[in-house]
Amino acid sequence: MLATQELSSSEKLDWLRLIRSENVGPVTFYHLLGRYGSAGEALKALPELARNGGRKKPIRVCPKQQAVQEARALVDFGGRMIGASEPGYPPLLKEISDPPPLISVKGPPHLLTRETLGIVGSRNASAVALKLTAQFAAGLSNRGLIIASGLARGIDSAAHQASLAGGTVAVLGGGIDVTYPRENAALQQQIAEQGCLVAEQPFGTTPQARHFPRRNRIISGLSRAILVMEATPRSGSLITARFAAEQGRDVFAVPGSPMDPRARGTNNLIRNGALLAESVDDIMAELATGRGPALAEPDAPLHALAPAPSPAEKTLSEARPRILELLSPVPISIDELIRLSDQSPSTILTILLELELAGGLERHFGNRVSLTR
C-alpha cells in the first residue's frame, strides 16, 4: 500500500503526466512508480521500455504543457486533483487494488473521508423503486452516511437527489466538467454546488461505454457497503455489486416480487449471499456489527511487489519470446504466467510493463492480462 504523503505540485504534475501517457493504466503506474522511485524518473524511462516491448514508433509521453493545462482547467472549474498517496484521498478507495492514481474532485473534502454507502440500480426504475430509493437515501443520510452513486438516470438520480442535503458524491464516467447524461444537467450542477463530483478520466472527456465499469469500481471502492435497489439480470448494477464483493465490501439488495422482472437481479444477489435490505434499520444494524470492509483484496495489489531490482537485460531478452508465446488474446492471470514461464515475478512484470507501454498488452480486473486484439 502507498504511504500517505502530500505531493508537491511538481510531483503531482509528474503523476498526472505519467497516468496520462500512452498505454499507462493504474497497474502500470504503480509498477513504474515502485521501480523508478518517482513519476519523474518513470517518465524518462517510458520510451526505452516501450521500445523493449516491441514498439516501433515512439510512445506518446504526456507533455508537461498538457498536464499543466488540465490542472489549470480543473482549478478554473473549481476543482482539485488528489493523488492516491494524499491524505484527502478517500480512505477506502485507497484500499482497493490499483486505485485511480489521481482523481479530479469538486466539493468539500469531508464528503470524501466520511463513511459512505453506494446506492445503485436500474436506469428504467419503477415508480415504487424510485420512491423507496429516496426513502433509503434520505434515511441513511440522516444517520450520517454519505451517499455515493453514478449520476445515471433512475435509481442513481433518486439517490443523489434525496441525499443532496446530507452529503452526496457523484462518480462520473467522463471528465468532471462534462455533463452526462444530458437530462441530469441540473442535478449535476446542484451536486457541483452542494455535494461532491469525482472523476477519474481527464478533464473534458466525453464518457464512453468502456468508462462505466471503472466508474462503478470507484463507487464501490469509495463505499463501506453498497445497496442495489433494483436490477435486471444483465444490469450494470450487478457489476458494481461484484466489484463491491471483490473489494470486501458488504452488498445489500432490496428484494422484490418474482412477478417484477426488475427484481430478478436483486433477488439473485440475495440468493448468492447479498444481505437482504428492507429498511434503513437493516443496513444500520449490519454496519453496526462493525466488521467493516476487509482491508485487502484477494489479489495483492501489484504495486506491493515493487520496487524490485531491475532484472538484468540478458534475463529479460531471453524471457521475452517465451512470455509472448504464453500470451494470447484470452486473459490469463499473472500468477499463472509466472508459474508457466518459470521466471521471477520481477522479470515477468517488467516484460508485461514494456509490452503494455508498447500497446501490445491489455490489463483486466483480477490481475489478468491478454494480448491486444
Interface with its own copies by CB under 8 A: which residues? Answer: 128, 131-132, 254-260, 263-264, 267, 270-271, 275-279, 282
Q: Are the beta carbons of 103 and 81 closer than 8 angstroms?
A: yes
Q: In angstroms, what is the minimal distance from the CB of 165 to its own copies?
A: 23
What's the closest the beta carbon of residue 276 comes to its own copies, in angstroms?
A: 5
Phi, psi of 118 (to 5 degrees): -90, 135
For its own copies, give the closer residue by CB, 131 or 339. Answer: 131
CB of 280 to its own copies, least distance (A): 10
Grid coordinates in use for 75?
482549478
Q: Which is nearer to its own copies, 189 or 279 (CB)?
A: 279
154: nearest Cα among 122, 191, 189, 119: 122
Nearer to its own copies, 57 or 271 (CB): 271
> Which residue, 22 or 260, has its beta carbon nearer to its own copies?
260
Residue 306 CA to its chain's centroid (Å):
21
CB of 138 to its own copies, least distance (A): 15
At closest approach, how far in Å is the CB of 287 from its own copies?
Answer: 15
Nearest 10 degrees: Cα torsion 173, 179, 182, 183: 90
CA distance 18 to 244: 28
- State the nearest-atom distance from the C-beta of 256 to its own copies, in Å: 5
Work out the burial of residue 220: count CB atoms within 10 Å of its CB; fewer than 13 is exposed, 13-18 middle, 19 or more buried. buried
Instruction: Choose between 115 and 282: whose C-beta lies nearer to its own copies.
Output: 282
Map grid coordinates 452542494 to a residue. 194
Q: Which is nearer to its own copies, 282 or 299 (CB)?
A: 282
3-state SS record for 340-359: HHCCCHHHHHHHHHHHHHCC
Buried b (16+ CB within 10 A) or exposed e, 129-156: bbebbbebbbbbbeeebbbbbbbbebbb
